[in-house]
Each structure stands twice: as structure tokens, then as C-alpha cells.
Amino acid sequence: MLACARTRMSVEVAACVRTLISGGVDWQALIDAAAAHCVTPLVGRQLLGEFANDLPAEFRALFRVAYERTVRGNLLMAAEMLRLSGRFRAEGMIAVPYKGPLLAAQAYGDFGLRQFVDLDFAIRQRDLPRATALLIADGYKAVFGTITPEEAIHPSHSEYQFVKADRSVVVEMQTEVTLRYFPRKLDFDALEKRLTSISLAGGETFSFSPEDTLILLAVHGAKHFWERLLWIADISELMQAAPGIHWAEAFSLAKEMGVSRPLSLALYLAHRMLEAPFPDEVREQVFRDRAVKTMGDEICERFSLRALAELPVFSRFRFRVASRDNFFSGLRFAMRLATSPTEPDRADVRLPEGMAGMHRWLRPVLLMKRYGIRRPKSNDRR
């Protein structure tokens, strides 16, 4: 799976794949793992190319069907993304799509090679009520309850998710409030100045710069402890895609945003797990931080065929602390996240409106209940 989760395969990696196949592969275990890590089309593309004759016929068919299904679904999602992007723009709102079909085209060069389940838009908090009204008028429903005009100034939700009436599309609106895994609020004005216009599938939309996209992906992967191979493949593919990353700018922006270590960790993982190449000066920057290597090696060590093998609560807290550039800023960051209630917290314990503030103090208990305090044993780790 690791050898095939890429669009570019070296002669050495191809030889490794042949050796693995000749030694015997549990194809069902591979396809199950690829599905869990959302890299089935990517793995299938490599195996159906140079190694097609080595696959049993039934698994050749499964990989082909997975790719074709992904292409069809992603094209429909891309059309909806472009339609909504145009609708937001017509109403005077800048809602920038990222990840999803846009990343499939930008990083992979093929709609069928990246799996995703929703459409993400970044929008200013002040525009959220208007965006909500637009989505509801278009047949969407807010998943986490009513969003009032006051949400523009006094946010009461940690997530803004909308689902179409026929459940065919899920839209997530990300704001400077919901992107809380940045240590400080994102400067949307600065991000807007670096936006680019992208032609895609016969339409046009805004996109973050490659450098901002890389940073957003790095923080998103760290948010989820890099448990899914897709997120590492995203970093690897974006690093190698045209027009390329301006590395000095990427590191400078990451420093301004307070996420230098998450960016370096993302690059380390892409290089360590998927052999993503980067220039010598980038290598020097990444390997300069010993904590990055320690964290990256721990992630590789616990890598499992099963994606999202949840870490216990204290391991999660330790990771959050280590993800900042120094201990005290990391401790403040981890404490903020540990006491900032989310929609699942509110759903788990419903409190009267006047006691809603208690969720802040209940959250640590809910986290311990949700994730446990000990690492579960697993028989399928590498």
C-alpha cells in the first residue's frame, strides 16, 4: 500500500512491489486497508498499470470499479463545488474551496485519484449567516442546529456542516473560528491577497496559493494525528505538482501562523513514508528540529492497516503539546483544545441553555471516556 500510494513510482520502488507480489500478497487485506486509508484509486492505478498481470482477475475488477466510481462521484462533486462557489461570489462573499475535488485536480492531476466525502469552503465568520441562508435556499440543511445572524459576531458552534436533502452532498464551512487547530486565528485578509483563480472542469473558482494550501493540509493532518495515509499522500503529491512550492515563502508563512513544526512534520512524513523528494535546503530545515523526527518516527511506528486507530487521551495531549515550537506555547495550545467544547461534546451531554458553559469543564472527562487512557492493543500494526 505504501509503495503504490503515489502517482510517480521510481524503478527501485517498482522492483520492491514486484518482490512483494512474488512473495505472496493477501489481496483482500490490501484492498480493505486501501479503502480504510482512502487510497484505493491511487493504489489501484499503480497495480493496474505495470502489475496488472500479477493481480487476480477479481481484484483487477474491484480496483477498476473503485476508480470509475470515484471519477463519477468526484465529477458531480466538482460541479457542485463550482456552482456553489459562483453562488457565493454572486452574493459578494469569498468562499474558497480547498481539499476535495480541487486538490484532486491540483495535486493528483486526475479527479479519480483522490477520495473525499464532502466539500470544504473557507469563509469569514462574519459571512457565515449569509452563506447559511444561501445553502438553505439551495436545499441544504444545517446539521448542528439553527444558525442565527448573531453567529457572525458571537459564534456558538464549533462546526458548520450542511447536508443536501437527498444526502448526496455534504458541505463544511470553515471559518477563522472552526480552524481552531491553528494556534492563532487565521488572517483571512492576508490569505485573500494570495488567492489565485483556477480553471477547473469547465468552470472557474478561487484557490489558496500552493503554499497556503500546503500549510492548511499540514495542520489538518496534525489535527487527526496523521492516522490516514491519504493525508500524507496529499502532502507528497502537492509537493511534486506544478507550479511547485516556493519553499522560502511556505516556511515564512508557517512561522507567521505559528505552525512551523506541523509543516516540517508533514514534509518529514511525506518523505519518510512515500519518498517524496524535496530540495536540500528544505531537508535541512525539516531535519533541524529533533522533535519533528521523534514525532514522525512515532507516527510511522504506530501506522496500522486500519486507519483512524484512535490514540488514548494522554497521548493525544502529549502530541498537541509537542506540535508547537516550545513547551509552554504547546501546553497552552493543548489546554485550549482540551477545554474548548465541540458539537459531539454537546451532543453527548445536553445541558440547559443557561448551563451551556459547563461543557468547557466537562470536555476533559468526555475526552477520557471517548478515547480511553491506554493505547489499545492491535495485531495488524507494521
At 23-68, the pLDDT tens digits run 999 999 999 999 999 999 999 999 999 899 999 999 999 999 999 9
DSSP assignment of 116-161 equals -SSEEEE--GGGHHHHHHHHHHTTEEETTS---GGGGTS---S--E
Dist. CA 382–CA 269, nearest whole Å: 15
What is the spatial distance between Cα 28 and Cα 10, in angstroms, rounded to a whole number? 25
CA distance 181 to 262: 10
pLDDT-derived band at 377, boundaries 50, 70, 90: low
Residue 132 has pLDDT above 70, yes or no: yes
- Which H or E element spans position 44? helix 40-49
Q: Give the model's pLDDT for residue 309.
A: 61
The residue count for the chain: 382
Mean pLDDT, the chain, whole residue set: 92
Which residue range is the domain that position 108 belongs to?
71-208
Domain stops at, among 307, 322, 341: 307
- Among 180, 208, 236, the domain boundary falls at 208
In-domain check, residue 373: yes
Query: What CATH number is attached to the domain comprising 162?
Result: 3.30.460
Distances (CA, A) of 194 to 127, 187, 211, 214, 327: 20, 11, 9, 13, 32
Instruction: State whether 168 and 274 are in the same domain.
Output: no
* Same domain assignment for residues 289 and 274: yes
Residue 291 domain-assigned (yes or no): yes
Identify the residue whose cell numbers are 493496474. Answer: 48
Range in 125-129, 139-143, 206-210, 310-314 the model is least confident about:
310-314
DSSP character for 279? -
User: Does residue 191 have a pLDDT over 60?
Assistant: yes
Domain for residue 161, yes or no? yes
Residue 64 is assigned to a structural domain of this protein: no
Q: What is the pLDDT of residue 221?
A: 96
Q: What's the domain count of the chain?
A: 4
Kindly state whether residues 277 and 287 are assigned to the same domain. Answer: yes
CA atoms of 40 and 29, how far apart (whole Å): 12
My answer on whether 99 and 34 are in the same domain is no
Residue 87 shares a structural domain with residue 141: yes
Q: Does one domain contain both 89 and 196?
A: yes
Answer with the residue of higher pLDDT: 198 or 151: 151
Residue 205 and residue 187 in contact, taking contact as beta carbons nearer than 8 Å: no
Q: Are residues 177 and 236 both part of a single domain? A: no
From 14, 31, 55, the end of a domain falls on: 55
The percentage of residues in the chain with a pLDDT greater than 70, rounded to a whole number, is 97
My answer on whether 280 and 250 are in the same domain is yes
Please report whether residue 175 resides in a domain: yes
Q: Letter for the amino acid at 311? A: L
- Residue 63 resides in a domain: no
The set of residues, in sequence order, having a beta carbon less than 8 Å from that of 182 and lying 6+ positions away, is 219, 257, 258, 259
Assess if residue 277 is contained within a domain: yes
Question: Which amino acid, one-letter code, is at 342?
Answer: T
pLDDT for res 376: 52
Q: Are residues 225 and 264 located together in one domain of the fold?
A: yes
Cα 4 to Cα 10: distance, rounded to the nearest angstrom: 11
Cell numbers 470499479: residue: 65
**Shared domain check, 144 and 111:** yes
CA atoms within 13 A on the CB side of 90: 7
Domain co-membership, 152 together with 201: yes
pLDDT at 379 over 50: no
198, 82: one domain: yes
Domain annotation covers residue 230: yes
